[in-house]
Structure 1
């Protein structure tokens, strides 16, 4: 996908992740917040035809190639566009368990899935203000990391496999200030099949 970027359709209905993530939150998150990032990302690229043939991921990953006059806007709104595209795909209404190669890698890196889940949840809960927690592939190694605001892990040369949005707009209507409760609920909607695909694709790069 290249400029002009369009808001992608969700791969499920707005109420599909109930009761873990409520319909109203999903609707506002997608049609207002994600749409807003999309519109402002396009606005930043208007008048820059040399950038318009690149994918959003290429733009976010290579920020030093972006003119200084629009670099902050591309970082923020391009990051928001890319991060949310990714976020919708790694959730599913179908209850899943980790399996396959990524499950083996998680167990090898973090000793067990439970220890990984605990470390990831603690990282997400500990994000100060707004941001994201990620499971990424750094070279051939798995890492848990966090980024502030809409910074993408791609901007740091690390490939995202799994990520959770911990901006308040992702959970506040249902969970208010209880971010850890939202994180606990979110594990019920992780699309582990997609995470496995992400891992296999990342290993090929």
Structure 2
């Protein structure tokens, strides 16, 4: 399966999709726009300033989560891509290495790079509330109401044992919620990501300690980027 087709992106488009605006409300991001040009997968810039998600997510959390964790995944996949003499897009690498024990490090770092970039775009300053238009209609059809969707997303995110992700995904035109452990990316199993919240502890522990539910509810209610999510629908 060509997972690149799921998102309709080539590598250049992925960087554009992930980078978003380098300036939000006139405030330049504190992070670089990309890694070295020689990298096959330059790390996209955060699409807002490092303090733009406060008070829900602090600049300190961003400094670790984006500045260290996300950066480490991109550094690792760029190194492995060269060492393993790989070719193709990041999505293609995820698809090609999924389920292969001898390529676990490649898959994990490729998927975590993709997952994190998607996550950063699922948030925005002044987000949250309820979606409108086709996304609202699709959620209504799948879950009965937006509150019912929100309750299930938070419950499944809270129920993900250990590290992982809670996703709104689409397959065969229908929305569902999927929770995945560790680095697992829905792209590898034929699902199209629409929205995600990160439930690794580094996503919330500095701000919420062990209160994962509080983080999930705050991120969903105050930061969710429904405009971005709507664009992912097939």
TM-score when normalising by structure 2: 0.80
| Residues 29-44 of structure 1 aligned to structure 2 (within 5 Å) | 29-44=65-80
Q: How many angstroms apart in 2 are the aligned matches of 1:169 and 1:138?
A: 29
Contact 1:91/1:190, CA 8 A, preserved across alignment: yes
What is aligned with 2:58? 22
Which structure 1 residue ranges, 4+ long, deviate > 6 Å from structure 2? none
Q: Which residue of 2 aligns with 1:167?
A: 200
TM-score w.r.t. length of structure 1 = 0.91
In structure 1, the residue corresponding to 2:117 is in which secondary structure?
Answer: helix
Query: How far apart are 1:40 and its partner, in Å?
Result: 1.0
Total equivalences in the alignment: 196
Report the counterpart of residue 48 of structure 2 in structure 1: 12
- What is the CA distance between 1:4 and its match in structure 2? 2.0
DSSP-derived class of the 1:182 partner: helix
**Of 196, 199, 203, the match for 2:230:** 196
User: Given that residues 61 and 157 in structure 1 are in contact (C-alpha distance below 8 angstroms), is that contact kept between their aligned partners in structure 2?
Assistant: no
Any idea what the Cα deviations from partners look like across 1:179-204, whole Å, max 9, x if unmatched?
Answer: 000001101100000011111xxx1x
Aligned positions of 1:121-132 closer than 5 A: 121-132=154-165
Q: Equivalents in 1 of 2:127, 2:213: separation in Å? A: 20
2:51–2:58 CA contact under 8 A, matched in 1: yes
Q: Report which structure shows greater RCO (CA 8 Å, sep ≥6).
A: 1
Asked whether the equivalents of residues 97 and 104 of structure 2 are also in contact (C-alpha less than 8 Å), the reply is: no
- The whole-number CA distance in structure 2 between the counterparts of 1:5 and 1:46 is 11
Check conservation: 1:135, 1:142, Cα contact below 8 A.
Answer: yes
Q: Does 1:55 align with 2:106?
A: no
Q: Deviations over 1:126-161 (max 9, x none)?
A: 110000000000121111011100110111110100
- Structure 1 residue 68 displacement after superposition: 5.6
SS in 2 for 1:62: helix
Deviations 1:79-100 (A, max 9, x none): 1100011011111102343011
Stretches of structure 2 that go unaligned for 5 or more consecutive residues are 1-10, 13-38
2:110 to 50, 63, 78: 78
